Amino acid sequence: MDSLIVLKNGRVLDPAAGRDEIADLWIEDGRIIVPDSRPIAEQNCIDVSGFWVVPGLIDMHVHLREPGEEYKETIATGTAAAAAGGFTAVACMPNTKPVNDGSAVTRLIKEKSTSASAHVYPVGAISKNSDGVELAEYGEMKAHGVAAVSDDGLPVMSAQLMRRALEYAHSHGLPVITHAEDAALSKNGCMHEGVVSTRLGLPGIPAAAEAVMVCRDIALAALTGAHLHIAHVSTAASIAHLRQAKREGVPVSAETAPHYFTLTDEAVADYDTNAKMNPPLRSEADRLEIRRALSDGTLDVIATDHAPHSVLEKECEFELAANGIIGLESAVSLGLALVRDKVINETRLIELMSVNPARILGVPGGSLAAGKQADVTVIDPHHHFILTEDTLVSKSANSPFLHQPLTGRAVLTICAGRITHMLLQSMKG
């Protein structure tokens, strides 16, 4: 059978099954199967000894820019970048043009995704046109494939609308992903408010702009009993609220992005617009607290907030530059740095990047059990590489991690049994 793939001698890491052993992983007809005694041809084998074989990584926060801004990224290029970064699935935020606030855009994304290099789970808008006024049609969007709702990029400033969104989404079994930011507090701000913003004379965004909204939304999740997921947590104050909420049993989950546990506001240096995103890079104390929260379970997910922009949006005055950086192709390396730094172990990293996002979104994945769809990532934790404008698969290159040595990379990505990225050779050429 030609569709058979045998990953030989890898370190199979399947946190959902409590499995961590050197073994072969068999894939056939797009599914993981129990190895059997049949003779296997060499061309069906891939030697992955020395590498980790893990459930396909899932990035629950990306911006694919299609429809509307295809010059930055498309579903095809964005999922190819995902595959190159080791991801087998992505959830794409609704701030496209037009906004994904109804079945028309959801359907378009799903259709374009049939030929993509990763599973695509659209996130629908919380409000029509993400205007923060009227609820979007969650039932309709869910029927066409949205996995969650969010007005990401824009905070829902009306607490009443947020309450209704949580209630209504709960009825449809969808989590609400909040972009927690008080727009009045962050107004005009373009970086973290602190010593660096003062030194650079740039208007700041205080950490409290995030924390007050995290607080509000936790209160609303407690009120409604609905599943709240907090996107891109960047501050220690938010972590404190989150920790307390989890202790009290509020149905809340949360993610952070690799840049928040890797960089601080110092990365803005001399007005580097590739260090500009929203929420902004925070202080060293915030960064350390994010790392702690990844290890103690307060944070559930590492998601990249992959936000492609062209030079048109980035080569300009810092205050005028667009927010956001690409993240799909550097995430594994930055996540592995946490393991190397002994902040978390390998199992926890896979929970954060695969098991938990699958559970939160209610989508397949996060498991290597026999019978499951074969979404598998092979990671070489020692692979050294440098990302450049030319080697990136993404259409955009707005990253603060270019031109510097990175360690650890996905060397093979298999999505539903299909190889979507490979830096290895099969055993017979």
Partner 1 sequence: MTEPSIFIHKHILGIKELSPQDIHHIITTARSFREISNRPIKKVPTLRGKTVVNLFLEPSTRTRLSFEIAAKRMSADTFNLSGSSSSTRKGETLIDTARNIQAMNPDVIIMRHGRSGAPHLLGRYVDCSIINAGDGAHEHPSQALLDAMTILDHKQSLAGLKIAIVGDIAHSRVAHSNIFSFTKLGAQVCLAGPATFMPADITSLGAHVCTSVGEAVTGADVVMALRIQIERQHDPLIPSLREYAVHYGINRALLKLAKPDVLVMHPGPINRGVEMNPDVADGPWSVILDQVTNGVAVRMALLYLVLGGDKSA
Q: Say whether residue 152 binds Zn ion (CB under 5 A).
A: yes
Quote the least distance from Cβ 419 to partner 1, whole Å. Answer: 41
Q: Which of 3, 43, 158, 198 binds partner 1 (CB under 8 A)?
A: 198
Residues in binding contact with partner 1, number by CB under 8 A: 20
Assigned token pair, 278: 């929203």
For the segment 33-62, give every residue that binds partner 1 (CB under 8 A).
Answer: none
Tokens 């690409």, residue located: 326
Select the span of 92-100, 312-320, 326-334, 392-400 touching partner 1 (CB under 8 A): 312-320
DSSP-derived letter for residue 366 is S
Helix (H, G, I), strand (E, B) or coil at 363: coil
- Per-residue x/- marks for Zn ion, 162-181, CB under 5 A? -----------------x--
Q: Considering only residues 2, 21, 36, 317, which one is a binding residue for partner 1 as defined by CB under 8 A?
A: 317
Q: Which two tokens stand for residue 209?
A: 């702009």
Contacting residue, 18, 201, 249, 405, with partner 1 by CB under 8 A: 201
Both structure tokens of 359? 């559970």
Q: What are the distances in angstroms from CA 135 to CA 160, 200, 229, 320?
A: 11, 40, 18, 31
Task: Give whichever of 120 and 268 is closer to partner 1, judged by the CB atom.
Answer: 268
Which residues contact residue 421 at a Cβ distance below 8 angstroms, ignoring those fewer than 6 apart? 83, 84, 86, 117, 410, 412, 413
Q: Which of 270, 342, 405, 428 binds partner 1 (CB under 8 A)?
A: 270
The verdict on 66 binding Zn ion (CB under 5 A) reads no
Residue 196 or 218 having the CB closest to partner 1:
196
Question: Is 241 one of the binding residues for Zn ion (CB under 5 A)?
Answer: no
Going by their DSSP bridges, the two strands 376-386 and 228-230 should be labelled as unpaired
Q: How far is CA 181 from its chain centroid? A: 19
> For the window 291-320, what string marks contact with Zn ion as x by the rule CB under 5 A?
------------------------------
Shortest CB 178 distance to partner 1, Å: 25
Residue number, 178 or 373, with CB nearest to Zn ion: 178
**Phi, psi for residue 244 in degrees, rounded to 5:** -60, -45
Q: Which residues within the stretch 178-197 sit at the binding site for Zn ion (CB under 5 A)?
A: 179
Report how many helices (DSSP H) and strands (DSSP E) the chain contains, helices first: 14, 18
Q: Is 319 in the site for partner 1 (CB under 8 A)?
A: yes
**367-402 residues labelled b (16+ CB within 10 A) or e (exposed):** bbeeebbbbbbbbbbebebebeeeebbbbbbbbbbb
Window contacting partner 1 (CB under 8 A); options: 21-29, 105-113, 203-211, 242-250: 203-211
269 CB-contact burial (10 Å; exposed 0-12 / middle 13-18 / buried 19+) = exposed
Nearer CB in complex with partner 1: 42/272? 272
Residues near 193 by beta carbon (within 8 Å), at least 6 away in sequence: 204, 205, 206, 207
Single out the segment in contact with Zn ion by CB under 5 A; choices: 145-153, 184-192, 259-267, 400-408: 145-153
Q: Is 247 exposed, middle or buried (0-12, 13-18, 19+ CB in 10 A)?
A: exposed
Residues annotated as catalytic (active site), given as ranges: 305
Stated as kind and residue range, the H or E segment containing 165 is helix 159-171
199 binds partner 1 (CB under 8 A): yes
How far lies 25's CA from each of 19, 30, 44, 48, in Å? Answer: 12, 13, 12, 10
Token couple for 335 = 């996540």
What mask of x and - would describe binding to partner 1 in positions 178 to 197, judged by CB under 8 A? ---------------xxx-x
Nearer to Zn ion, 152 or 255 (CB): 152
Nearest approach, Cβ of residue 192 and partner 1 (Å): 9
| Closest CB to Zn ion among residues 11, 61 | 61
The stretch among 112-120, 151-159, 375-383, 387-395 that binds Zn ion (CB under 5 A) is 151-159
121 closest CA partner among 81, 154, 103, 148: 148
Could you say which of 266, 271, 295, 310 contacts partner 1 (CB under 8 A)?
271
Rounded to whole angstroms, the Cα distance separating 269 from 267 reads 5
Residue 152 binds: one of partner 1, Zn ion, none (C-beta under 5 to 8 A by kind) = Zn ion
> Shortest distance, CB of residue 321 to Zn ion, whole angstroms?
16
Among 183, 223, 316, 386, binds partner 1 (CB under 8 A): 316
Longest Cα–Cα distance of the chain, Å, equals 69
Interface positions with partner 1 (CB under 8 A): 193-195, 197-204, 206, 270-271, 315-320
Interface positions with Zn ion (CB under 5 A): 152, 179
